[in-house]
Amino acid sequence: MELLNPMSQADFPAYSATAGASAGNTTAWGAGPQGVVVWSEVPCYVQVGVGAVATSASTPIPAFTPIPFVVPLNTSGAPWRVSVIRIGSTDGTAYAKPINKQ
């Protein structure tokens, strides 16, 4: 397992989004992080990127399991976000924290 380096709380705080019947989005972050760790209270689909909108074609993750995602590098400095949509009928909260590999 690779160790991850959380980004500065001041510059890249953790954000949350509602994993509901429609896509919920975090507040956007600026360029800098190599990745983002996402975890949720409910199983959900996850999309990461500039203007990301999760759908049932996005990456599924199980509940209560932190999963690292790569942040697209071709954002040209544009703000990026995490978008989630629930799997099943129960809403929950998803959390995201920007990280670097080292």
pLDDT tens-place string over residues 84-102: 999 999 999 999 999 998 7
Beta bridge partners of 39: 95
What the chain holds in terms of domains, given with CATH numbers, is: 5-100 (2.60.120)
Tell me the torsion sign for CA atoms 87, 66, 92, 46.
Answer: negative
CA distance linking residue 89 with residue 99, whole number of Å: 30
The pLDDT mean for the chain works out to 94
Q: Look at residues 33, 49, 46 and name the one whose alpha carbon lies nearest to residue 81.
A: 49
What amino acid occupies position 56? S
Rg value, the chain, Cα = 13
Tokens representing 101 are 């590999």
The pTM of the full predicted model, rounded to 2 decimals, is 0.93
Over residues 52-87, the pLDDT tens digits come to 999 999 999 999 999 999 998 776 778 999 999 999
